[in-house]
């Protein structure tokens, strides 16, 4: 998974294009992420087991990772990433703009 929890991403498609936010949750088997405060949807619900309260609830909808780009905290640019294996076998992510190790 190229994008992980607590990464900062910028939205590149849809109504929130250009906005940035922090990844609250990554969903690797769907290639989606949930970003704090972005891609909000309204869900109408009635009080029940799942919802404590009836009414309209704002929810963050998962965004496909092809619609976001990682913001590199080293160079500050939205970037694509690649992977590199270190001498100890650990796989790290590399910023394709500045070639710095991201994690
Ligand atoms: Zn960078």
DSSP single-letter state for residue 94 = E
Q: Is the pLDDT of residue 46 over 80?
A: no
Question: What's the pLDDT tens digit per position in 53-99?
Answer: 778 888 999 999 999 999 999 999 999 999 999 999 999 999 999 99
Beta-strand relationship, 91-95 and 20-27: unpaired
Cα separation, 26 vs 86, in Å, equals 24
| CA of residue 24 to ligand 1 center, whole Å | 21
Cβ-Cβ contacts under 8 Å for 16 (sequence gap 6 or more): 38, 39
Neighbours of ion ligand 1 (CB under 5 A): 72, 74-75, 95, 97-98
Query: What pTM was computed for the model?
Result: 0.83
| CA of residue 32 to ligand 1 center, whole Å | 22
Buried b / exposed e over 50-89, threshold 16 CB at 10 Å, is eeeeeeeeeebeebebebbbbbbeeeeebbebeeeeeeee
């Amino acid at each position: 998974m190229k994008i992980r929890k607590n990464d900062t991403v910028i939205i590149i498609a849809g109504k929130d294009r250009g906005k940035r936010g922090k990844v609250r949750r990554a969903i690797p088997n769907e290639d989606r992420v949930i970003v704090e405060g972005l891609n909000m949807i309204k869900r109408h619900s009635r009080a029940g087991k799942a919802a404590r309260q009836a009414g309209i609830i704002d929810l963050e909808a998962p965004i496909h990772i092809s619609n976001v780009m990682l913001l590199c905290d080293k160079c500050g640019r939205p970037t694509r990433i690649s992977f590199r294996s270190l001498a100890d076998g650990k796989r790290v992510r590399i910023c394709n703009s500045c070639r710095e190790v991201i994690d």
